[in-house]
Amino acid sequence: MHRWTLLASAFALLGLTSVSATPFNPAEFGGRDQGYLVPGVYFTSAADTSAVGLTNTCNAHQVHWVFTDTSGTVQGRGSFTILPTETRPFVLAQALPASAVGRFGTLMFVSDTDGDGKLTSADEQCLVVEAFHADLTRNDAVFLPVWPFNTYDFPGGPGTGINDLSIMVPGMLSRLSSGIEDEPGADVRTIYLRYSIGGGDATRMVVWSAETVTQPLLSLVSQFDGSKAELVPITLPGTQLSVLDVGTLGFPSGLTNGLIAMVAPDDGVGDYADTAGDGNGIAAYTVIESPSLGAAQTILATWSR
């Protein structure tokens, strides 16, 4: 998808049609599933807001949503009917109260295709979801990744999901099979996150973990030219969602543009308590803002064992 298409999609969600931009690298969007997480969304005004597009590939049904902040507190929830083949815009600044201004959080959407007010294996995989953060003052938008989930990601799954969608929260998820998985017991993996904090650049790191991470994660922070690498402990302060300004993490001098290799949370070494006995799931990405280029870019985390 070219940048002008990305912008047009985001601005259309806000009811705008005038866009001027140039092509950029293509972005891929996910397939269909029962529910979706969109971590790291926020708004500061109607002109600076995260926005989501939800497309229905099934019959008309109710979609339930909830927004929780980094402490896990619910800041807004609701539901709406989505019609067959409809693409429904969801603009955070229009859906949440003014008290939520500036709060980073996680959006959760669930399809109730059988109308029983629950998420079970009987609910079809109907939704296609894509998300952006639109900044109308700069006539720009940045892609926000989404992670699908289904009943497999809840305690006792598959088949068992949420008994009452009117009180659902992301904290009900005990894993995230579409994310970076940690199996029960020692299963050490490394998460790689791109950063740039030199020359006026800023990097926002977004990490969502199904289980609350209680220990600092040792990270090897390196400069891209290989001139320097240092071990830095990184603490994830949120209940599930942590949003970090990389420039405030205290990296040693000379580390301004490169890669963060962070040891993934592991219950086998006590980084978190495996409350449901099914391990953990992590979603992670960074957003690099470069004033010199007048643009922001989202870069998904990669991982290895």
Is omega for the bond preceding 233 within 30 degrees of 0, making it cis?
Answer: no
Q: Supply 237's token pair.
A: 């302060």
146 and 225 belong to one structural domain: no
Residues 14, 136 contacting (CB under 8 angstroms): yes
- Sign of torsion, CA 145 151 153 155? positive
Residue 185's pLDDT band (boundaries 50, 70, 90)? confident
Q: What is the pLDDT of residues 30-61, one digit of tens each?
A: 579 999 999 999 999 999 999 999 999 999 99
* Least confident stretch, 12-21, 95-104, 192-201: 12-21
150 and 10 belong to one structural domain: yes
> In the predicted model, is pLDDT for residue 2 greater than 60?
no
Domain that holds residue 206: 180-304
d(CA 34, CA 90): 17
Q: What is the pLDDT of residues 76-134, one digit of tens each?
A: 999 999 999 999 999 999 999 999 999 999 999 999 999 999 999 999 999 999 999 99
Single residue among 120, 153, 172 that ends a domain in this structure: 172
Q: What is the pLDDT of residues 129-168, one digit of tens each?
A: 999 999 988 888 999 999 999 999 999 878 879 999 999 9
149 and 192 belong to one structural domain: no
Q: Report CA-CA distances (Å) from 217 to 31, 68, 191, 260.
A: 32, 24, 11, 11
139 and 167 belong to one structural domain: yes
85 and 118 belong to one structural domain: yes
Q: What is the pLDDT of residue 108?
A: 98
Mean pLDDT of the chain: 89
Q: Supply 215's token pair.
A: 């220990």
